[in-house]
Structure 1
Amino acid sequence: MSPMRPVPWVSPVLYGTVLASGLYAGLAGLGTTRPAQFAGALAALFAVDLVERRIRPGGTPPWPAAALLCARVALFAAAAAADGSGLSRVLFVLVPFTAYFAFGRTVAVVLAVGCAGLAAAGYALGAPGWYTDVEQITDLLMFCVGLVLAIAMAATAVEERRGRARLEESNRRLAAYSAQVAELSAAAERNRVARDIHDDLGHHLTAVVVLLEKATAFRDRDPAQAQRALDDAHRSARRALEDVRHSVRTLRAGPAPFRLSTALADLVDGQADDGRVAVTLEFTGDESGYGVPTLTALYRAAQEGITNARRHASATRVSVAVAFDESGARLTVADDGTGLPPGREGFGLLGMRERAELVGGRVDLDSGPGTGTRLTVTIPREGTA
């Protein structure tokens, strides 16, 4: 047990009570009171407590605590010897009370038993046959009750302080955990925003780049075709701007209902702007039993697959197939492009895998130079994983 500071008000209150009763007894002629010794002992006890609180505000280590306890016992004895009222014997209940905070319950109980034994021995030496005197027996019993109450009070105070310390530690840990959760939430949100920026703006900007390249290539040979490419690039840029505005509105007001079939149809229709890549869509099954995160993950995978086919694979045909059944959902994006060299997965595929994993799915990629690319995203239905 680590040392603790005793309850600060108990000892001064007891000292004051004993001082008042002893002085009253001396003035009233009750017993023989030596005021100088009596008041000096109590003043020394006040001083010991005051110095200890200032020097050891957090608690006194065992060896200094033992020395101070011995000093207090000596002062208790001096006060009791000079007190004609006999009330100063109550000071000895502070022995187990003080010891409990410094040494723990076992030492306090042993000292309480020792104090009770010394009190009984004092009665036996000073008043033979004391055990037949009701007043003497009552005094001893009351002293023992005081010892028990002192230990109970000390135990209550110690447990209360331990509980407060545990609560403070729990609060510190909770604050630390809250900070960690906030940090993880912020990191997850940053990753989500990064994926959305890549998937939305990246897709549209790819289309704009391809169309501008086409306009540059046909500027001299076919000005009309170049102008159409510029117009298509302008429309793609406007769609990108509209997607940004939609994302901002979603962040402010919450997401609107999402239909994968409609979103994919719009995505495929938008690929006809430049006429360089033919994109087809096959959609089977019912998407109504799936949550928005699952449908969004499938849509982003289709978007990324088409973007990669246009930007990197020089594909002329891309097929998108989506199937929903009792076991789950499957998206396949296949192209006839140049394929993806091993080890060349970028941020788009990384974001795609993260989205799939968040809803319990997986991403499989079958690609090689000159063989085209086949991207498959499989997400099980909730409860079947």
Structure 2
Amino acid sequence: MPRPVPWIPVVMYGAVLLGGVYYAVIGPGPGVRTAGYAALLGALIALDRRERRIAPGALFAVRVLLLCAVAAVDESGLSRVLFVLVPFLAFFTYGPTAAIGLGVGCVAALAGAFTLWVPHWQTRAEYISDLLMFALGVVLALTMAEVAVRERRAHARLEGTLAQVAELSAARERNRLAREIHDSLGHHLTAIGIQLEKAEAFADLDPPGSAQALSHARWSADRALDEVRASVRALGPEAESEPVGLSRALADLVHHLDGGSRRVSLEMAGDERRPLLVLYRAAQEGLTNACRHSGATEIGVKVVYGERGARLQVADNGTGFDPAGERFGLTGLRERVRLAGGTMAVDSSAGGTVLTVEVPW
């Protein structure tokens, strides 16, 4: 396990090195042991800088051997504080259980060393204080290691969560663009196909009607191009691309689909407060399905503005369909309505289909 706090051992090595050299200068004077002491601590510092190139188990063993060597040549006794690093480093190499065991072993080893080399140390306050401070240092080192590991794991979980959020955001944006393409281009392409069929059918029988159908087809093509440009330019919240007025936008849709063997009517009730793109898309979906799939001859679009919201209803007298086999268009519309805080219902039978969408203000 990589150490989340690699600077701690280096700082301790440096502090003990300075303390040992200072003790030698003001005490017995620098000598061979002082040079060996400094060299061994320098080796520990260099080892920490190359730890990624050495196997964790071998690295831990080399550190412990170097710490024992430093303690053997140390004249000041300061180096024993470095043994708190043994359980600290073991925590990242072997886990918490081994680290706790080594921590207890280090405290016991220090007590044993006092027993062997310091007679009656149990009655001398300075040695009792050293042992207690060392034990406290071991506890603090283990606690710091545990905190560092938990922080690293929490950071890793956070990164994973952020990656998931980014992926979900991208998926949501793809779904939104797919809905926009289906709801806008799909409707206009359907309208173009219907008007071209009408123009072809009435080319000889009713030239003015055929010309009008071609004009409507051209309008639908221009409208589709405008919506593609708006989507590419904005690629932002749906509110930025809402129609200027729902009533006028719906009137245009109905006007360019009405005619021939199909009658399409529009009824508006209440005062329009603001344009609602979700209702416009719902009307497009309902009209597209009615014209393309149902074989309806009568289609009615009704919008009612109330105090709490608006309600759209698209009803036709077509052949109907099985609501259980809902296609992408209705599924995408249902999701769009849900995001707007509204409700959607589809009632279909052999006598026709009624699509109802309600959206709060």
TM-score (norm 2): 0.72
Q: Deviations over 1:172-216 (max 9, x none)?
A: 32541343134223322322322333444234313422323323x
- The corresponding residue for 1:118 is 113
**1:239-286, CA deviations, whole angstroms, 9 ceiling, x for partnerless residues?**
4304532563476473356433333333333344x4432222333345
Distance 2:9 2:17 in 1: 14
CA–CA distance in 2 between the matches of 1:55 and 1:265?
74
Q: Could you list the per-position Cα deviations for residues 92-111 of structure 1 after superposition, in whole angstroms to 9, with x for gaps in the alignment? A: 12122333321446643662
Matched, 1:78 2:60: no
Provide the rounded CA distance (Å) in 1 between the counterparts of 2:333 and 2:179.
11
Instruction: Name 2:267's counterpart in structure 1.
Output: 282
Q: How does 1:195-274 map to 2 (within 5 A)?
A: 195-215=182-202, 218-219=203-204, 222=205, 225-245=206-226, 248-249=229-230, 252=233, 254-255=240-241, 258-272=244-258, 274=259
Matched, 1:376 2:355: yes
From the superposition, tell whether residues 199 and 365 of structure 1 become closer, same or farther in structure 2 (CA, over 3 Å). farther
Equivalent positions of 1:5-154 (< 5 A) are 7-15=9-17, 17-19=19-21, 21-22=23-24, 25-27=27-29, 36=32, 39-40=35-36, 43-44=39-40, 46-47=42-43, 50=46, 54=50, 60-61=56-57, 65=60, 69=64, 72-73=67-68, 75-76=69-70, 78-80=72-74, 83=75, 87=76, 89-103=77-91, 104=99, 107-108=102-103, 111-112=106-107, 114-116=109-111, 118-119=113-114, 122-124=117-119, 137-138=125-126, 140=127, 143-144=130-131, 147=134, 150-151=137-138, 154=141
Q: Pick the structure with greater CA Rg.
A: 1
Structure 1 match to 2:95: none
CA distance change for structure 1 residues 286 and 65 in 2, over 3 Å: closer, same or farther? same
CA shift, 1:53, in A, is 5.9
Unpaired runs of at least 5, structure 1:
29-34
Quote how far apart the aligned CAs of 1:26 are: 4.2
Which 5+ residue runs of structure 2 have no aligned equivalent? 92-98, 235-239
Q: 1:209 to 1:363 in 2, by over 3 A?
A: farther
Task: Verify the 8 A CA contact 1:198 1:348 in the aligned structure 2.
Answer: no
Partners of 2:106 and 2:306 in 1: CA distance:
79
* 1:332 corresponds to 2:332: no
- Cα separation, partners in 2 of 1:58 and 1:367, compared to 1, 3 Å: farther
Match of 1:367 in 2: 349
User: Greater shift after overlay, 18-27 or 258-267?
Assistant: 18-27
Instruction: Report the Cα distance in structure 1 between the residues aligned to 2:43 and 2:283, rounded to whole angstroms.
Output: 83
Q: Counterpart amino acid of 1:94?
A: L
Q: Which amino acid aligns with 1:79?
A: V
Q: Is the CA contact (8 Å cut-off) linking 1:116 and 1:143 kept in structure 2?
A: no
The number of residue pairs the alignment matches comes to 345
SS at match of 1:305: helix
Q: For residues 116 and 155 of structure 2, what CA distance do their matches in structure 1 show? A: 46
Cα drift, residue 79 of structure 1: 1.7
1:320 matched residue in structure 2:
301
1:229 to partner: Cα distance = 0.8
User: For 1:17-65, what per-residue CA distance to the aligned partner results, in whole angstroms no more than 9, with x for missing partners?
Assistant: 425644764459xxxxxx556655664565466457646668844x974
Are 1:296 and 2:277 an aligned pair? yes
| Contact residue 272 and residue 305 of structure 2 kept, 8 A | yes
Give the Cα–Cα distance (whole angstroms) in 1 for the partners of residues 192 and 35 of structure 2.
93
Indicate conservation of the 8 Å contact 2:87/2:142, yes or no.
no
| Cα distance, 1:376 vs structure 2 | 2.5
Instruction: Give yes or no for contact 1:356–1:363 (8 Å, CA) kept in 2.
Output: no
1:31 corresponding residue in structure 2 = none
* 8 A contact 1:101–1:154 mirrored in 2: no
Report the Cα distance in structure 1 between the residues aligned to 2:189 and 2:180, rounded to whole angstroms: 13
Q: 1:78 to 1:209 in 2, by over 3 A?
A: same
Task: Look up the SS of the partner of 2:303 in the other structure.
Answer: strand
